[in-house]
């Protein structure tokens, strides 16, 4: 039997309409997945990755151990060099997931006496990593550089003679709102105040920048950023993550990041898929037929339809593939999602406590493979249901 306190917590979730359950995959029109470019379902990428393994004699199902023991197969070196070049970074260190990367970074890099200043909307993986750190952490209002600057000045005075560090943490595209901070202003602020800037680019890679190399590279801010966290399970359609950084930070993470050290490495077929996805995105042209260009066309069309249908005021302003419609209350958001599902559309309701109470929403994820007809139809239905 489940302990009483745990059962009570589950009961509260059910009462609040926030009880989570695993659903079955349905063949509905996709407005919910992170597969922005369709790479996860690409037969070409699947076959090319398989052929690469055959050609290079990587006939192996598992990595057999952690990278520090038996799991550091040759593909790791090849892919880390490939993505370092693609993202204009001195080095890269691959982790098993974005969650592992953030947990490993924030639990090991900031030290006792250091200060972490993080955007209040940062992802749970960042928050969990920070919670494991010995540093003191303080959040700042979402995308508010003025408040961040005040906090930097306050804590700079406190640690000025102790030789401790300040780390500033944010995301280039936020996973729930789809918006972005003023990355240029943020980078300049952190440079002038001698703080270390960390950017999670999970939802920017594959969507923004030249051939999808992310917003930091697109804005040529690589030298302002202490570390970038990128993931392969979204636009690149694979699995895993990497931290882009200076070689010395990579060496540190290999020695002290517990989520890197104490886990079995990714198998060769995962690395081959990552490699193939990068090869695919690297050769995409800027014409209208490339998945990235199709994605941006669909984002523009989606926003135009919001305006035409009088729905714009319900949505959080965003130029990314994430478009969120605020629908107050867990039950209201869930029921609206179910109505769309009844008409063949997969749009997920995001409920509190995942987002703040009163900020419940439907999150529309736009893809390169969504048609204009699908976008118009789902928004016409939304206009009826809200």
Percent of the chain with pLDDT over 90: 92
Residue 26: predicted pLDDT: 76
Which residues, in sequence order, are CB contacts of 68 under 8 Å at separation 6+?
254, 261
- Is the pLDDT reported for residue 353 higher than 70? yes
pLDDT value at residue 118:
98
* pLDDT exceeds 80 at position 158: no
Return the percentage of the chain with pLDDT > 70, whole number: 98
Where do you find CATH 3.40.640.10 in the chain?
60-282
Q: Is the model's pLDDT at 22 over the cut of 80?
A: yes
Which is more confident, 161 or 119? 119
Top-tier CATH class for 26-39+287-385? alpha beta
The rounded mean pLDDT for the chain is 95
Q: Are 58 and 71 in contact (CB under 8 A)?
A: no
- Architecture label for domain 60-282: 3-Layer(aba) Sandwich (3.40)
| Residue 232 pLDDT | 98
Q: CA 18, CA 254: separation in Å to the nearest integer?
A: 38
Say if CB 226 and CB 197 are below 8 A apart. yes
**Average pLDDT over every residue of 204-233:** 96
Give the closest residue to 108 by CA, choosing from 121, 119, 120, 95. 95
List, for residues 84-124, the tens digit of each pLDDT value: 999 999 999 999 999 999 999 999 999 999 999 999 999 99
The residue written with tokens 């906090």 in the block is 151
pLDDT at 25: 73
Q: Whole-prediction pTM value?
A: 0.95
Domain with CATH 3.90.1150.10 in the chain: 26-39+287-385
Helix (DSSP H) and strand (DSSP E) numbers for the chain: 14, 12
Instruction: Please count the CA atoms within 13 angstroms of the CA of 169 that sit on its side-chain side.
Output: 26
DSSP 282: H
Residues 6+ apart with CB under 8 A from 108: 133, 252, 253, 256, 257, 258
Q: What value does the mean pLDDT take over residues 155-179?
A: 90
**Is the pLDDT confidence value at 23 over 90?**
no
When pLDDT is averaged across residues 358-365 and rounded to a whole number, the result is 97
Render pLDDT for 247-292 as a digit per residue (tens, 0 to 9). 999 999 999 999 999 999 999 999 999 999 999 998 865 566 899 9
């Amino acid at each position: 039997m489940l302990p009483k306190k745990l059962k009570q917590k589950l009961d509260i979730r059910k009462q609040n309409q926030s009880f989570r359950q695993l659903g079955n995959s349905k063949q509905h029109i996709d407005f919910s997945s992170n597969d922005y470019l369709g790479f996860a379902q690409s037969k070409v990428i699947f076959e090319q990755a398989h052929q690469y393994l055959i050609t290079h004699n990587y006939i192996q199902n598992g990595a057999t151990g952690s990278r520090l023991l038996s799991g550091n197969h040759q593909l790791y070196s090849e892919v880390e060099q490939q993505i370092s070049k693609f993202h204009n970074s001195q080095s890269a260190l691959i982790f098993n997931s974005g969650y592992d990367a953030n947990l490993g970074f924030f639990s090991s890099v900031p030290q006792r006496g250091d200060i972490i200043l993080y955007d209040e909307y940062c992802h749970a993986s960042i928050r969990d990593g920070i919670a494991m750190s010995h540093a003191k952490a303080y959040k700042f209002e979402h995308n508010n550089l003025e408040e961040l600057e005040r906090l930097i000045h306050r804590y700079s005075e406190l640690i000025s003679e102790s030789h401790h560090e300040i780390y500033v943490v944010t995301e280039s595209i936020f996973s729930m709102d789809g918006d972005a901070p003023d990355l240029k202003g943020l980078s300049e602020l952190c440079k002038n105040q001698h703080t270390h800037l960390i950017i999670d680019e999970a939802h920017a890679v594959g969507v923004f920048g030249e051939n999808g190399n992310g917003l930091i590279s697109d804005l040529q801010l690589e030298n302002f950023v202490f570390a970038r966290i990128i993931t392969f399970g979204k636009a690149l359609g694979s699995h895993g993550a990497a931290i882009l950084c200076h070689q010395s930070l990579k060496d540190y993470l290999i020695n002290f990041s517990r989520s890197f050290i104490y886990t079995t490495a990714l198998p060769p077929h995962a690395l081959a898929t990552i490699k193939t996805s990068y090869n695919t995105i690297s050769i995409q042209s800027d014409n209208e037929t490339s998945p990235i260009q199709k994605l941006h066309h669909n984002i523009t069309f989606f926003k135009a339809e919001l305006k035409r249908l009088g729905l714009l005021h319900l949505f959080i302003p965003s130029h990314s593939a994430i478009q969120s419609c605020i629908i107050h209350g867990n039950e209201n958001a869930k029921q609206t999602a179910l109505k769309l599902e009844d008409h063949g559309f997969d749009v997920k309701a995001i409920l509190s406590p995942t987002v703040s109470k009163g900020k419940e929403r439907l999150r529309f994820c736009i893809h390169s493979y969504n048609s204009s007809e699908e976008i118009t139809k789902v928004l016409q239905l939304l206009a009826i249901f809200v």
